[in-house]
Structure formats: structure tokens, C-alpha cells
Structure 1
Amino acid sequence: MAGNGKGTAEMELSYKDDPRMPCKYGAKCYQKNKNHHEKYKHPPKKTPEGRGVIRKVVDKDESCVASSAPSPEKSPEKKKIKLDTSDEEAEQITSSPSHSNASEPVVDDPENALPPSPEDVKESIKQKFLCEMPEDFYQFWDFCKNLSSDSPARALKEIGLMLVGPYDVLSGELKKVKHRDSSSYLRHWRYYFDPPEFQTIIKGDDKKQYHMGYYRDDPQEMPVFVACNSAAVSCTISPLAGNVFGAVNAYLNGILKSGDPFTKIKVPKYQNALKKWAEKEGISLEAKTAEMKARSKKVVSTTFHNAGIVVPCDKKSQVGYRELLEPDAQIKKILTSIMDSETEDKRKAAFSKLQPIVTAANIANDECDFGASLELGLDLFAFGGEPLHPIILQLLQAAYKLLNRPEFAVIIKAHLQDRKKGVDLSIVK
């Protein structure tokens, strides 16, 4: 800035007189897109770095901000809130400061493109998937590299497993991608029933579409457990263990109990290697950890996918979550009638029965019971069906932004843009 020959006062005056809209991210905005800078102006001085906060318009002298979780000591008052959000928030979340990489793919769509990948692999994963991976994620890569130095991602192929998703950053697979579209990275190995809370890291049987992934309630926190889902069978997400080592060990135990004979004979070799490595590194193989047990006490609803949801909730004042207007059985009945409707008129009539439930969840948001929209949105997502996608997006984007989980709002939007069944889920072609 100093090199342009203008003094601080002159630059501030120039900024004030600039007719363009001010960028809501101020001087910390690092967008290089030409269209962005033509539309928004940026202050000459840098502001302190910090995590973006979802802005809300609240009534004067009232407060009910999702980023301040209700506590037993002081329950938040129930006040009305109106969201003031835009696609620019999504643009900011999916872009991060990074270092140049000469081997970066060509940018085909500047409006939805990521900046060059950070040199640090952990930052590169966070840039593309919006969440950090826990330490056991990298430890398991080292274990697989020890089994197969040439191809760690396929080290467990004999027992039907392959490392995918964020592991493709470690393997270098994502360097083959010829574009930098942020949404496509978020869909990379995201199965049909994978909600934003679930990040696939291992694929298994293609017939059942079995896969494992990390499950976390907040994108800014580390996962609570590793779970599995068989997308061709159901939406059910089943917790396996507190880390990927324990999850794979549980998978191997399952093969020993009911797997085919040809796979069974290969299990001892890999299970012994897994246990030795875990023991050497001090990694627990427990199926249920203390963190998982603690979370189970915080779950306010099991949801259709059975993994449940956790939201800031004061049980004494009952602020944070309220039950849906109708029980699960009735909601499933309504959703079935929507999906089975043979004509547009019948579908509209079926949707009219769902609308009061949606309206009640939206009203709950006004009174700080954000868990209702989260539950209903995830239930509709778990039920599945493209006609439900607009309502799912509305419910979940509102819930995630009010809960200060904006990364999940970006993920659900990207997923619903191209939600696929089957196993053709890699962006590496």
C-alpha cells in the first residue's frame, strides 16, 4: 500500500468516497477474482486475523447469537433472529491463504475456484475439505505406507479396503484433477447418504457401497468417532471406534465372524500388523471411547441416520432444541407420499402436509431452538429424494449458520448440487 505514493489519510478518504459496496471481510479478504474486486471495495488497513463469524441481524438491544452456546449458568433469552447471509460467505470459506504450487491444475471457473494448494499437507486437506484431520488419520497413512510403500492407499486391498477422500491429498491423486472447483472437492468420495458431519476416508465393498468416515458435530472440532455406512442398503451411520485403527480392527472382527472364507484367511496377517503398530504407537483400539460415551449423553435426537445430533442446549431452560411437530413415523409417511406421488398435484398435496412441520422448525430458529431445523433437515436428507433437496438446503443452511457451523452449510450446498448414488464418486478421472 505504501508504495502507491498515497498517505494513510488520503487512502482512507479514497476508500470512503469509493462508490463500490464494502467487502464484509474487510482487509483480511484475500480474494483475487477480478469480478469480486469490481463489485466490492476493501479498506487500506489490515484488520486482525480471526475466524469468520456468521453475521446476523437482531432486534435492537437483543442478543441470541449461536456462536455463544447456552450454558447452565445463564440461559439465553428467546429472541427473534433474521439471517443475513450470502453466497460470498461460501466463497470466503472455500478459499484460504496458500502458497503457490507450480503443478496446480488449470482454473476453469474463476468464480468457484480455489487458490493454489498450501505446501503444508494438513492445510491443503483443510482447504479442500473444510475440516482438519485428526492425528490418527496421518498415523494410519504411515501404517499403510509401512505395508506398501509403493501404494499406501491400496495397502489393504486384499481385505477389501482402499483409502480415499482426504487420503488422496497424501497419495497425490488429487494432483491429477484438471480444475480447481471448490464444490467438486467437497463432493469427492461423498456417498449419497453422507451428511456434512460425515467425511469418508475409506471405501469398501462396492455392492453394498460400504465405507468408513470421521463423524464430527462441529467442523471446527476434531471427530468424535469413525463410523460406517452402506449407502446401497440404508442411510444408517454406525459408530465403529474412536479412531481409524479401532474402526478397521472392528471391520476385521466382522469379517472373522461372518465374512467369506477367502477373505477370512487373509485377516490375521493384517490384524496382527495393525495391533502391533497400534501398541507401538500407543493407539487405542477401543470400540467405545470415553469421548463417545460423553457425546451419547449430549445427543438430543437420534435422527433417521441414527448417529444423532448434538447442539448447544440448556436442559434446564430447554433452550437450544425442541421436538419436531410430528413424530418420526408420521414424517416418514409424509415423505413416502411425496416421493410416491404419480402427478404434480398429488405431490403438491403431499408437500402441504410437510409444510407445517417445516414452518414449526423455522419458528424454533426464531426462539434459539436451532436443533429442530438441524434434525428435520438431516432427516429429510437421510430419507433421500431430489424433490426434497430445496427444503433440505433451506433447513440445513439456516441451522448450520445459526449454530456457527458455516463450513457444513457450504458442504451441503455443494453435495446437493450433484448428489450421486453409486460409487462413481471420485473427481479424479
Structure 2
Amino acid sequence: MDKPDCKYGASCYQKNPVHKEKYRHPVVEKDESKNQNSPQKIADDTSESSSKRRSHSPNPSEDLLEEVKKCKRPPTPEKDHNNREESDQSHEYYGMTRQRYTLPEVPMDVGLMSDIYDPQIEFSKKAEYQELCADPKQFIKHKFLVDMPHCFDSLWKFCESKSSDKPGEVFDKLGLRLVGAFDVLAKKFNDAKMHEPGDYLRHWRFYYDPPEFQTILVKKGTGLHYGYWRDSPSDTAGLVAVNDVNKGCEFKLIGENAFDAVIHFLDHEVTTTPFNKAQTATMRKSLEEWAKEHNIKLKGQDQLRARNKAVVCKTFHKAGIVVPFDRKKELGYRELLESDANLKKILSKFDGIDKATNKAGFDTAMAELQPIVTGAFIAVDECDFGTALELAVDLFCSGAPCLHDVMKPLFVTAYSMLKRPQYIAIMKSHLDNRRKGIELDLLHK
């Protein structure tokens, strides 16, 4: 019985013996003497145009590339007779019989492997991104690495009660913007282009914002911003703090929920004019009524007092740090080798130093700082993890870019020992692109 011809002829890419036995692969020779309009020539031309895999086509592997990209499998599996795992008595797969698919051999002219897999990866990323956009809670957890407190959702519902069309702009006329994770609830990310993971962690992250702080409100046109303060990434207590980046690194804890932050703004930071005075009073009253109706305690002090008792040191940003500390055994934290005043003097010597162009100046300043850094790492070896975190925060608050490489190992070590890996990712992303100024909206990049 004659075997049918393979449509790819001698240029067929298949190496499978079964295919070789089933089809003929004749070599088609060109006859220059044939008339250009002869029936045989027309038939040859038709056959040639129907096959994109012939060697004289512009891209003989084009169809193969498309098949591989779509992950097409051969129609039937073949028995795997040469599997060592099944014949090895000590292996968990001993005695099992499995089928396997013979993958097509991809010729070199198909290109790099990225040409094959990048389209699939890109599609997968987009599909995952759309799923996250449909679930704001998971989007925030996935992109910002934290869970939001109950008051976060409640404040958004309050805004929706004031404006169903544009809840994110309820406070705009008073000079206050909802930003950060609120942008997710406002669906601003739905049609935005996808970014690298670190970009999301820098969304509305000001120059002096440590990983413990997450911005949710900003005073329009200024560096004043409010946000949640979490001593641990899993903390959902809802403590809120405020900082003005134009004035420095100091933070002040001002309440126990997002409503406290808005009311603090209305009481202390809003620019009052004859045109918005009545609106400001009305908004404040509405917030108080909503909070009372939904059992949200305003201007509470219990959680703030409890945290103040747990603070082991103040640090340069004044908010202090909280780490596990056994006061009886004095285990978990010890003081730095230098006082805050002396440390500030030492760090001031790094101001304006560019390590790349002034290594001698950096090394001279580092000679005084190095013993303190070494002492912090010794403290870590003896389970006083808070010491390394304190020094890292103080270096961060100094604002000197040349100290980034010095503080990174301190942050990584401290957060690792304290089991706060999310803060490692946030800190690394921030230091990779630590921007000054107040235009820190990822959506406007």
C-alpha cells in the first residue's frame, strides 16, 4: 500500500518515527524547462502557496511558532518506555506506567524562547490583573501587601452616601484628597496600565514614609498627608498618623481610625474661607453622625495609650517602634551605642555627600558611624532585634541617599527577625526610587 505524501515534503520538521512510516517525504525538483503556464507549473505554484513551512517561504517556521505559542499538543500520547524512575525500585514512581506527549522540535529560526512564552505570560498577567481589579480587597493585599482596617471601608461607604457618582471626590472642595488604597475602590486601576510590583508599593509613598506608614489622605497641593500606622503588616487596628514631608521626617499619631484623620484635617488643616466655612461645619457634623450610627469611636485614646506603653524607643520620626520586648530579661531591644544627639551629629556629616564622587569623604564619615552599625548587628546576634530597626529608621530619617546601602542590611535583618517580610519589600522598593516632592501618584506616571 502506497503511503500518502506529507504536505511539507522534504522540509518537514517532524522527527517522530511513526510519522516517517506513515508519510512519504519526496524531494520536489524544479524543472526550469517547464512552460510558465503549463498545468504542472500551476499545480506546483498552488501547492507552494498553500504551505508556509517550505524552505523557500519567507518564514518556514511561522505556523510552528504559532502552534507552540498556543501550547498545542500532538493528538495522541506515546508510551514512555525509557523512564528510569519507573524501573528504579527506590523511587516513588516505581511500577507506575505513564503516557507522555512528544513535543515538536523547535528549529533555531523560531527565535528565542521568550518569543514563545512571553505572549502566554503577558496574557496570564492581564487575566490575573483583571481578577484582582474585580476584588478590591485582594488587589490591595496583593499590590500593597497589607489588609485594611474596618474604618477604611466605612469611610468609603460614607463618601458613597454623599456622592454615588464620584465618592472619591467628596472632600475635594475642602482641599482633601482620598488617595492610595482608596484609588482601588474608586476603580482607577481598572483601566490603568500594569506596572512592576515595586511601583505599587511606591504609590503615594512620600520621601520620609517608613514601611509602617501607608498614605490614604493628602492635603491638595502640599506635602501634608495622613495614613495608617502599622507596627506589623498584619495590624488592622486603624491607628492614623500625619506628616508634612516639607517640614521633615516627624510623624504624629492623631487617632484610632480614618474618621479621626478627616476630622483632624477639618479642625486643624483646612483652609477656611467665607465660601466653605458652612460646608466644613456640615461635613464635620455628617462624619460624627455616621460614626455614631456605625459604632465608630472618635478621638479614642485607649489604643494609643496601649501602643505608647509598648514603644521601646522614640526614633527620629518620633512615632517610635514597637517590637517584642521582655522587660524582665531585657531581651528584644537595647539602646544604641550613641545617644540620639550624638548620632544626629554623626549623620549630619553625610549631608550632601555623593559616594560615587566623594568616596574619601564618605569613608571619613563612615569611620564614626561604623562602630554603631557593628554594635546593632551584635545586638541582633543576641536577640535584641529592635536595636537594628531603630538604627535603620534613624538612618532613613536622616534623608541622606548615600546611606541607603548602609541601612538596607539593617532593615532586612531586623524585619526578617521580627517576621515582617512585607516591610522588607516595601523598604527595598522605596529606596530603589526614593523620590522627593508631592507628585507621587503612580496613575500619572
Please say whether Structure 1 and Structure 2 have the same fold, judged by a TM-score greater than 0.5: yes
SS at match of 1:421: coil
1:334 to partner: Cα distance = 1.0
Pair 365,263 (structure 1): closer, same or farther in 2 beyond 3 Å: farther
Q: Deviations over 1:19-69 (max 9, x none)?
A: xxxxxxxxxxxxxxx99xx9xxxxxxxxxxxxxxxxxxxxxxxxxxxxxxx
CA contact (8 A) 2:133 2:187 kept: no
Specify the alignment match of 1:294 in structure 2: 306
Instruction: Using the aligned pairs only, state the percent identity.
Output: 40
Residues 276 and 367 of structure 1: is their aligned pair in 2 closer, same or farther, counting only changes over 3 Å? same
Please give the residue correspondences for 1:252-331 in structure 2 after superposition, counting only pairs within 5 Å. Answer: 252-255=266-269, 263-286=276-299, 288-331=300-343
* CA displacement, residues 347-387 of structure 1 (integer Å, 9 cap, x when unaligned): 22011111111110011110000000100101111111210
1:348 to 363, 371, 381: 363
Residue 279 of structure 1 aligns with an amino acid whose one-letter code is: K
For residue 102 of structure 1, report the CA deviation from its aligned partner: 4.8
**Which of 255, 260, 263 is the matching residue for 1:246?**
260
1:397 maps to which of 399, 412, 417: 412
- Distance in 1 (alpha carbons) for counterparts of 2:91 and 2:180: 48
Question: Residues of 2 paired with 1:5 and 1:289: CA distance?
Answer: 71
Deviation at 1:340, TM superposition (A): 4.2
> Quick check: 2:179–2:215 contact (8 Å CA) kept in 1?
yes
Matches within 5 A, 1:102-181: 102=127, 104=129, 117=132, 119-181=134-196
1:366 is the counterpart of 2:381: yes
Unpaired runs of 5+ residues, structure 2, are 1-76, 95-112, 118-123
- The RMSD of aligned alpha carbons is 2.9
Distance 1:233 1:255, change over 3 A: closer
Residue 214 (str. 1) matches residue 228 (str. 2) = yes
Q: Partners of 2:312 and 2:78 in 1: how far apart?
A: 56
How far did 1:346 drift? 2.2
Q: 1:262: how far off?
A: 5.3
Deviations 1:234-260 (A, max 9, x none): 11111111000112112212147x856
Is the Cα contact below 8 Å between 1:190 and 1:425 reproduced in 2? Answer: yes
> Secondary structure of the residue that 2:350 maps to in structure 1?
helix
Residue ranges of structure 1 left out of the alignment (5+ in a row): 17-33, 39-98, 106-115
TM-score (norm 1): 0.72
Q: Could you tell me how far apart the structure 2 residues matched to 1:163 and 1:103 are? A: 26
User: Aligned residue for 1:231?
Assistant: 245
1:307-356 deviation line (CA, Å, top 9, x unaligned): 11000000001000000110111111111111145843222201111111
Aligned length: 334
Q: 1:144 to 1:359 in 2, by over 3 A?
A: same
Partner of 1:184: 199
Q: Give the TM-score, by structure 2 length.
A: 0.69
Structure 1 match to 2:100: none
Q: Aligned equivalents of 2:306 and 2:277: distance in 1?
A: 34
More contact order relative to length (CA 8 Å, sep ≥ 6): 1
Contact 1:198 1:213 in 2 (8 A): yes
Of structures 1 and 2, the larger Rg is shown by 2
SS in 1 for 2:165: coil
**Distance across 2 between alignment mates of 1:381 and 1:410:** 15
Give 1:119 deviation, angstroms: 3.8
